[in-house]
Amino acid sequence: MRSTDAVEWAYARWLDLVLAAALALGGFLLLEHGSDGSHVTGGVMIAVAVFMGLYRISRRVAVIAVPYLWLLVFFLVPFVIVIKISLSDIALAMPPYTPTLDPAAGWSGFVDFLGKLDFDNFEFLTMDPLYYKAYLSSLKIAVLSTFLTLLVAYPMAYAMARAPEEWRGTLMMLVILPFWTSFLIRVYAWMGILGREGFLNSFLLWLGIIDEPLVILNTNIAVYIGIVYTYLPFMVLPIYATLEKLDGSLLEAAEDLGCSRLQAFWLVTAPLSVPGVVAGCFLVFIPTLGEFVIPSLLGGSDTLMIGKILYEEFFSNRDWPVASAVAVVLLLILVVPIVLFQRNQQKQAEAGK
Amino acid sequence: MAQPHKTPVVFAPWENPTEKPLIEFKGVTKRFGDFTAIDNLTLNIYQREFFALLGPSGCGKTTLMRMLAGFEDPTEGAILLGGQDIVPVPPNKRPVNMMFQSYALFPHLSVWDNIAFGLRRSDMPRDQIGERVQEMLRLTRLESFAKRKPHQISGGQRQRVALARSLAKAPRLLLLDEPLGALDKKLRNETQFELMDIQEKTGTTFVIVTHDQEEAMTVASRIAVMDHGKLIQVDTPAGIYEAPNSVYVADFIGDVNIIEGNAKRIEGGIEIHYAEGAAPIRAMTDLDIADGQRVSYAIRPEKIAVSSEPLTDRANHARGKIIDIGYLGHLSSYFVTLGNGQKVEASMTNARRLSRRDFTWDDQVCLSWTDTAGVVLTR
Amino acid sequence: MKKLSWFNATSLTLGFAFLYIPMIILVVFSFNGGRNVAIWGGFSTKWYGELFNDEKFLNAAFITLRVALATATLATILGTIAAYVLVRGGRFYGRSLFAGMTYAPLVMPDVILGLSLLLLFKVMFSQSGMLTVILAHTTFTMCYVSVVVSSRLVSFDKSLEEAASDLGASAFDTFISVTLPNIAPAVISGWLLAFTLSLDDLVIASFTTGPGATTLPIEIFSEVRRGVKPQINALSTIMIGIVTVGVLIFSILSKRQIAQRLRDEKRAEASA
């Protein structure tokens, strides 16, 4: 008997509802009497019971509900909390902010709670130069490093697309391979190279090109190198994808019509690879803006990046409301490029049809 | 000695009023948003028929078939199978199977398992499944490919696996969605006859969707010509070809000359005055046509004879000049411009090899045809 | 065969040198016997010995592995369902919100995801730990799984599912016996992706972890914050080695499979 038969046999005999009832009962008992760990088990049991009941009413609704509810609880609700806390004030308590919503106080308590929310933290962000400087510096670093990544990635992607077909798979794999290795380790590798007594300085001193070790680590230069290095595959792959699809006969046609090689590149290849370039730029720019690991390992004390500020605000200063406000503003800055990126992707997907 | 008199058994259940149809569409309408795919359609299909739905893409023929399979529900109307409404029955519970245009063979299963897929989900006892699969493999001459995966066999073999799989459950109705569309022309011709053979052997009712009129003409017992979600004509292949009910059908099936003109009633038929100074066309018709009514006259190229002198036994004659000749091997098409500017195509079979070319470009010729050769159409 | 121009050959050489030399240096210097981290002091495996004697790292590695296994499995289940709902679910109330939510974590900075999840967990649980890290990792990796699986589902011929239904299979049966075997490669890739993302993640784990649930990236980060540590070089070498071997095996296997398929298809056409 196939397993699907067994499931359907049980379903036809309403055994699922029996099981659901048992699960729900067990779940409630655990919630009532258990410790933290069994609370979780109880919650899961009730969730499964609800799913089974829902599956009876509408299979479609039940299937949709599973990932939907998960994302609502673990993605959307946390955002609402962030926004709420960003409007609260810091307090020496646990949780370290005020006001807190007391469900027991009912509607009037809710209104009272809303009245206590304010935009003080956002005002604070505009007053303290640290924050807007950090936003501006993050933007500058993100823009510049995106551009640098493009400069490195385009010739690579171009050469890959021009390589003999039997090489391309291997070249692709070589670009993707670093992506599977730890991000942290790849950033860390540069610490050993760029440090004062690092590999690069020892090498250059040995060659006699320099007499004094260069100071690269803990400067913005190191941050740029780190970003270009770690995000290079994100730029190479989309550009390669558009260049690889490019019909070789287009270039032949251009040359046939009197273009030089270089003109053919500028007039045919470059414009046709724009969607890949745009996609790659967004894929580098968006995550770079909130980057935390690279500035904290490779950057110096004067490297201002908003991801690092947020992290420190939260863990060192324990100022949850300001950290939340920083996050909200960062998100608002990111909304525009994210929406543009999605538009670009959709346009490409439609063009691909 | 008396010869045993052999009466040909004509298969025409649609002409028998006591015969119960297998499928009945009753006022079926299907809308997708604002788009009406099927427009208030009523149609009966009978047991053992090989029924073809023919039309250009977007005419609604695929939607009609998908409603039979259960993948689409009608917006209005009822669909009956053996007298029972099947609209509320989900696809997996219908005694209807479908052969998909893409074949939709399960790539992860062998040919054997593909054919057994439906049987395993039926009431058939486990020990009989093997036998049934073997029978299907024999029917489609696939015995030696049972263990192969779909990607390990050729396109023609894949087509036969798809057929075997959809026939395995012995459905009351088999739906074929462009079943030969992916095959090359030669294989397609062979397969058409194979399909008819299998249909006859199994006695299953077939409904085929196609945009290929030749295919429909070859295989079908009846053809429904569709356009914009409506049935234009439902008839036997010969009926559709020789007696189209509209300019649309005449034009859709085969080559045809359409000449428009004003009718004038005469003894036993009408005269069609189509151009100033040209002799009117004499045509027989059963239609009730008023004097001066605007009509279309449809005549197939092969019904028109090309000669240097008029053939006196025919009722209609016209003179013109050959402007183009298409040599197609088995026949030649002559494109002739009549004195009044009307262009007419006539074709002649090339019965003799290397026959002396009778006519060439710019020759003056005479076209002749009988008064029953063409059809008078009012729509 | 087409030859590469010198320009293209140079860009490839420089590009791949840039990508790989840092890692090669890292690997080489993990076998350095000297104290100085940048000067070669003879071959030695002493840092590996020190690494394996350090219980801190072994514990962290074990925790990370357990988190990654749980995350990858949960995320694959949820992500596959999410992809199925997005591609095959048709229209439903709140579909665009759902599509947005499965897409947003891909482009959201880690710090924001980490912060928001931490604030949620403070409300939900009295203490953070492995469970909260798993929940957080599942949330962001399921979106990657969903992207991988839905791209496969989009290219997957819908008529296969219709054929199964036509032949008598219920919706559940169709999913198990037709859809799942055919999207299996994408589901497996999704699992691997979720697994490595979870192994790799520092920021979200730092926010959502609690006592007794220090993952390997957190441990590495706190070690290297103040400078290069030879043990970390050794650890990195091991991790790079595992990934390289894994990816190589995977790509050789898939290359073989593709070649076999091509041969099969050629033979089938020839025999017809």
pLDDT band at A222 (very low <50, low <70, confident <90, very high): very high
Q: Are residues A36 and A167 in the same domain?
A: no
Q: Chain A: residue nearest C123 by CA?
A: A95
Preceding peptide of A95 cis, ω within 30°: yes
pLDDT at B41: 93
Phi, psi of A150 (to 5 degrees): -60, -45
Residue A73 is assigned to a structural domain of this protein = no
The candidate with the shortest Cα–Cα distance to B305, out of B348, B336, B343, is B348
Judged by DSSP in three states, B298 sits in strand
- The Cα–Cα gap between C46 and C30 comes to 9
Are residues B235 and B341 both part of a single domain? no
Residue C30 lies in a domain: no
Q: What is the pLDDT of residues C85-137, one digit of tens each?
A: 999 888 888 899 999 999 888 888 889 999 999 999 988 887 888 999 999 99
Same domain, A200 and A281: yes
Q: Is residue B11 part of a domain?
A: no
Question: Rounded to a whole number, what is the distance in Å from the CA of B152 to chain C's nearest CA?
Answer: 5
Do A153 and A227 reside in the same domain of the chain? yes
The pLDDT score that the predictor gives to residue B267 is 81
Q: Is residue C120 part of a domain?
A: yes
- Dist. CA A192–CA C38, nearest whole Å: 7
For chain C positions 189-228, those within 8 Å of chain A (CB to CB) are 196, 199-200, 202-203, 206-207, 217, 220-221, 224-225, 227-228
> What is the pLDDT, as a whole number, of residue A116?
75
- H helix or E strand, kind and range, residue C20: helix C6-29
Task: Give the residue from chain B lying closest to C270, CA to CA.
Answer: B154
Asked if C165 and C171 count as a contact pair (C-beta separation under 8 A), the reply is yes
What percent of chain A shows pLDDT beyond 90?
Answer: 35
* B92 to C167: CB separation less than 8 angstroms, yes or no: yes
Q: Name which of B5-14, C63-72, C221-230 the model is least confident about.
A: B5-14
- Range 61-120 of B in CB contact (< 8 A) with C: 69-71, 90-93, 96-98, 100-102, 104, 106-108, 117-118
Domain count of chain C? Answer: 1
pLDDT in tens, A144-167: 999 999 999 999 999 999 888 888
**Across the interface, do C247 and A185 touch by the CB < 8 Å criterion?**
no
Strand-pair partners of B258: B298
Asked if residue B7 belongs to a domain, the reply is no
Partners of residue C4 in chain A, C-beta under 8 Å = 159, 162-164
Give the domain range for residue C165.
45-263
Task: Please indicate whether, in this complex, the C-beta atoms of A158 and C171 are within 8 angstroms of each other.
Answer: no
Tell me whether residue B262 is in a domain.
yes
The span from the CA of B166 to the CA of C162, in Å, is: 12
Helix axes C110-124, A320-352, angle to 10 degrees: 120
C186 touches chain A (CB under 8 A): no
Q: Could you tell me the two tokens for C97?
A: 């919100």
Say if CB B147 and CB C264 are below 8 A apart: no
B264 in Cβ contact with B291 (< 8 Å):
yes
The verdict on residue B182 lying in a domain is yes
Whether C77 is covered by a domain: the verdict is: yes
Domain presence at residue B76: yes
Q: Are residues A111 and A144 both part of a single domain?
A: no
CATH code (residue B265): 2.40.50.100
Position A185 scores a pLDDT of 93
Q: In chain C, what residues touch A64 (CB-CB under 8 Å)?
A: 85, 89, 92, 98
What average pLDDT is seen over chain B? 89
CATH assignment of the domain containing C216: 1.10.3720.10
CATH (domain of A151): 1.10.3720.10
Residues A35, A97 share a domain: no
Mutation test of the interface with chain C: which of B113, B115, B121, B132, choosing the one with the most C Cβ atoms within 10 A?
B121
Class of residue C135 by CB neighbours under 10 A (exposed 0-12, middle 13-18, buried 19+): buried
Does the beta carbon of C269 lie under 8 angstroms from any beta carbon of chain B?
yes
Q: Show the domain range for A100.
A: 88-118
Of A36, A78, A330, the CB nearest to C127: A36
Which residues in C lie closer than 8 A to residue A289 (C-beta atoms)?
A: 109
Residues B70 and B28 placed together within one structural domain of the fold: yes
A183 part of a folded domain: yes
Nearest C-alpha of chain A: how many angstroms from C78?
6
Best mutation target, C191, C228, C244, to test chain A (most A CBs within 10 A)? C228
CA distance C210 to C223: 18
Query: Are residue A148 and residue A25 in the same domain, yes or no?
Result: no
Answer yes or no: is A13 within a domain: yes
C167 chain-B contacts, CB cut-off 8 A: 92, 97, 117-118, 121, 165-166, 169
Give the DSSP letter of residue A75: I
B227 lies in a domain?
yes
Picking from B248, B282, B308, the residue at the C-terminal end of a domain is B248
pLDDT at B285: 87
Q: Which chains touch A (3 or more CB pairs under 8 A)?
A: C
For an interface test with A, the pick among C12, C97, C206, C251 (most A C-beta atoms closer than 10 Å) comes out as C12
- The answer to whether the CB atoms of A195 and C38 lie below 8 A apart is yes
pTM over 0.90: no
pLDDT tens for each residue of B22-55 = 999 999 999 998 999 999 999 999 999 999 999 9
Interface residue of C26, C93, C232 to substitute, partner A, most A CBs within 10 Å: C26
Cβ pair B318, B306 in contact under 8 A: no
Distances in Å between the Cα of B241 and the Cα atoms of B188, B232, B245, B306, B334 are 22, 13, 10, 22, 21
- Whether the bond between A99 and the residue before it is cis, its omega within 30 degrees of 0, is yes
- What does the alpha-carbon distance between residue C1 and residue A165 come to, in Å, rounded to a whole number? 9
Total structural domains within chain A: 3
What is the reported pLDDT for B1? Answer: 42
Domain count, chain B: 2
Under 8 Å between Cβ of B281 and B274: yes
Q: Are A237 and A147 part of one and the same domain?
A: yes
What percentage of chain C exceeds 70 in pLDDT? 97
- Nearest CB partner across the interface for B102, out of C159, C264, C271: C159
Give the pLDDT mean for B233-243: 93
Tell whether A32 and A140 lie within a shared domain.
Answer: no
ipTM: 0.91
How far, rounded to the nearest angstrom, does the alpha carbon of residue B66 sit from its chain's CA centroid?
A: 19
Which chains neighbour B (Cβ–Cβ under 8 Å, 3 or more pairs)? C
Whether B184 and B264 share a structural domain: no
For chains B and C, what is the number of CB pairs under 8 angstroms? Answer: 80
pLDDT value of residue A351: 75
Q: Chain B: residue nearest C173 by CA?
A: B121
Classify B378 as helix, strand or coil. Answer: coil
Tokens of A221: 């230069």
Q: B208: domain CATH number?
A: 3.40.50.300
Q: Are B216 and B286 within one domain?
A: no
Angstrom distances, CA of residue B85 to CA of B70, B89, C170: 12, 8, 21
Whole-number pLDDT of residue A347: 83
Residues A16, A137, single domain; the answer is no
Q: Which domain holds residue B286?
A: 255-377
- Based on the fold, state whether residues B326 and B197 are members of the same structural domain: no
The pLDDT of residue A105: 67
Same-domain status, A148 and A193: yes
Question: Residue B5's pLDDT is what?
Answer: 54
A1 falls in which pLDDT band (50, 70, 90)?
very low
